[in-house]
Amino acid sequence: MTLFRKPTSVKGTLLVLLLPAGIALMGFAWLVHGLLLDRMSREFVETRLKDEAAFLEHQIRDSKGQLDSLQTGDYFQEVFHHAFAIHTPSSTIISPDSWAPVLMSLIENGQDGTLRVQDVNTADAPEDILAYRRSFRVGNTPIVVIVSEDLGALKRSQAELHAWTAIVSILLILLLVVVIWFGISLSMRPVVELKATLKRLQDGKVSRIHVQAPEEFRPLVQQLNQLLDSLDQRLERSRDALANLSHSVKTPISAVRQVLEDTCRPLPDELRLQMTARLNDIDKQLEAEMRRSRFAGPQVGKSAYPLKQARDLLWMMGRLYPEKSFELSSSLPEDARWPIEEHDLNEIMGNLLDNAGKWSERCVELSLAQHSDTLKIGVIDDGPGVAEAEICKLGQRGLRLDEQTPGHGLGLAIVREIVERYGGMLHFSAATERGLQVVVDIPLAISTATN
């Protein structure tokens, strides 16, 4: 059984966390205030008692120990705000008289310094007293001076001040609740606007989310817009695939149907081979469009291990082309991850390696690199290469049917489409010695923004 149920709203969560924390901090401050107030008051009283005892000693020394000369005009009653006692072997002066039993006990105590007397049961005398006792000699006469303060009256004043502090603290807590509620409401306003925008998006009134979101909500808005872009791209790819299939498959199917519906003539071997070729064309076209439909593009939370996938592909290409050597060149750490969907990375490297393997004579080199803002994939083969005039045509969408015949165009249209979905570029150039060099550059900022 849980003691606290998780709040169902952000406002409730913040109030549950902030309000008790504010009350606890205010209560702690109130307790600390009481302790500091008591300590400061005691130190202040002790300082005053010491100063007044020193003043009394000075006056007594000036009068050369003659206490009678100090009593004229009620001098001490006018100057002092505390009870005091002056004791010599011949006389004792105590003011006020009601404090006499307590102060006499301190005189007889014989211990100098700050003294505290509590639970005094003498009538008209305070129950809690703080006193300072000082003994000295004037000539040969020992003199004891005691100055004392009624701590009960001081504590009552402190209690009143502490009570007012508690009242002010409660008012501050109420003000804190108002400020917290106002701050939460103001902070949640972008969420309300985002909710309204999502409702308009659902109703078809807008196609993208455009709100003035604070910095904390901007990644969320970007992720939602990128998700909408991804969905639109997938819908467009599906429509393109259906259109391509409808256009490319319709004619071969019609031709095969006419042959099969003609029951008046037998099927010669040549015609049978032609039908087989047409069916192979349909199968290849279906495979090509299915591969395109599986492109994921940038997706949140998707990543791949390029070194592991590269080694697996090179092993497979080595079995497919056993007479050729496939090498890997990379300075990436073993656990390096790229923000590219795993199937997309396989399609890019697999098509480039397969294309290079078909045309190379002995060696194909795959290189992987990561710079501060770019992911780079390079494939170099030592084949016959491509003429300068034809290089610009490689990978064009209009040449996507090159997948049906061997050559440098095999799969390059697919590679270009995937790379463009990641905001990258596909570059073709002649290799340093001979053959073709293909370089894929994918901006790291765009890739990481989607993950």
At residue 260's C-alpha, the angle toward residues 254 and 265, to 5°, is 125
CA 35 to chain centre: 39
pLDDT tens, residue order, the chain (451 aa): 454 555 567 777 777 777 788 788 888 888 887 888 778 878 888 888 888 888 888 877 877 767 766 654 455 555 455 788 888 888 888 777 777 777 787 877 777 888 887 766 666 667 777 888 888 888 888 888 888 887 777 777 777 877 888 888 888 888 888 888 888 788 778 778 888 888 887 777 777 777 777 777 778 788 888 778 777 777 776 766 666 666 566 666 666 666 666 667 676 767 667 677 767 766 666 666 666 555 555 554 567 889 999 999 999 888 888 899 999 999 899 888 888 888 888 888 988 998 888 888 889 999 999 988 889 999 999 888 877 777 777 766 545 434 444 444 447 888 888 888 888 899 888 877 778 889 999 988 644 444 4
Under a CB-based contact definition with an 8 Å cutoff, are residues 139 and 64 in contact?
Answer: yes
CATH of the domain at 124: 3.30.450
In the three-class reduction of DSSP (H, G, I as helix; E, B as strand; rest coil), residue 27 is classed as helix
Residues 224 and 312 reside in one and the same domain:
no
Which pairing describes strands 374-381 and 363-370: parallel, antiparallel, or unpaired? antiparallel
Q: Would you give the DSSP letter of residue 5?
A: P
Residue-number span of the structural domain to which 66 is assigned: 12-156
Tens digit of each residue's pLDDT (9 = 90 or more) over 421-434? 888 899 888 877 77
Interatomic CA distance for residues 156 and 161, integer angstroms? 9
What's the pTM?
0.45
Residue 330 within a domain: yes
pLDDT at 402: 43
Distances (CA, A) of 267 to 57, 257, 278: 139, 13, 15
> What is the number of other CB atoms lying within 10 angstroms of the CB of residue 189?
12
Residues 29 and 64 reside in one and the same domain:
yes
CATH of the domain at 408: 3.30.565.10
Question: How many H-runs (helices) and E-runs (strands) does the chain carry?
Answer: 12, 10
Our count of domains for the chain comes to 3
Under a CB-based contact definition with an 8 Å cutoff, are residues 309 and 342 in contact?
Answer: yes
Residues 275 and 148 reside in one and the same domain:
no
Residues 121 and 17 reside in one and the same domain:
yes
